Amino acid sequence: MKDKIHPKYVETTVHCACGFTYKTYSTRENIRVDICSQCHPFYTGKTKIIDTAGRVERYRRRFGETKGTKILTASQKVMLEAEKAAKKAKSRRSAKR
């Protein structure tokens, strides 16, 4: 390695917003992250709304609290739309007779 052009590579503690900390190596010290392998849904297998930018909060403020309304995933929405379209097609068919 060439002298005096490389940053220091030090042992670093990474702090996650969920409280989990772990050590790794980096050129930066004390890294803070919003999500890690201990709390990300991909690893936990649990459903969770990841809302780092406060988007859910902003949406609720703008459109009001929707009690009893389920927050659907994209695939659930697609399924729902397909069901609605199927029902529509059915009623159209029966109306013709």
Per-residue binder mask for Zn ion (CB under 5 A), 49-78, x = binder: ------------------------------
Which residue type occupies 97? Answer: R
Closest approach of Zn ion to the CB of residue 54, in Å: 18
Helix (H) or strand (E) holding 61: helix 55-63
Task: Name the segment binding Zn ion (CB under 5 A); options: 14-22, 41-49, 72-80, 81-89.
Answer: 14-22
Residue 36 interacts with Zn ion (CB under 5 A): yes or no: yes
Burial 14-34 (b: 16+ CB within 10 A, else e): bebeeeeeeeeebeeeeeeee
One residue of 10, 18, 50, 89 binding Zn ion per CB under 5 A: 18
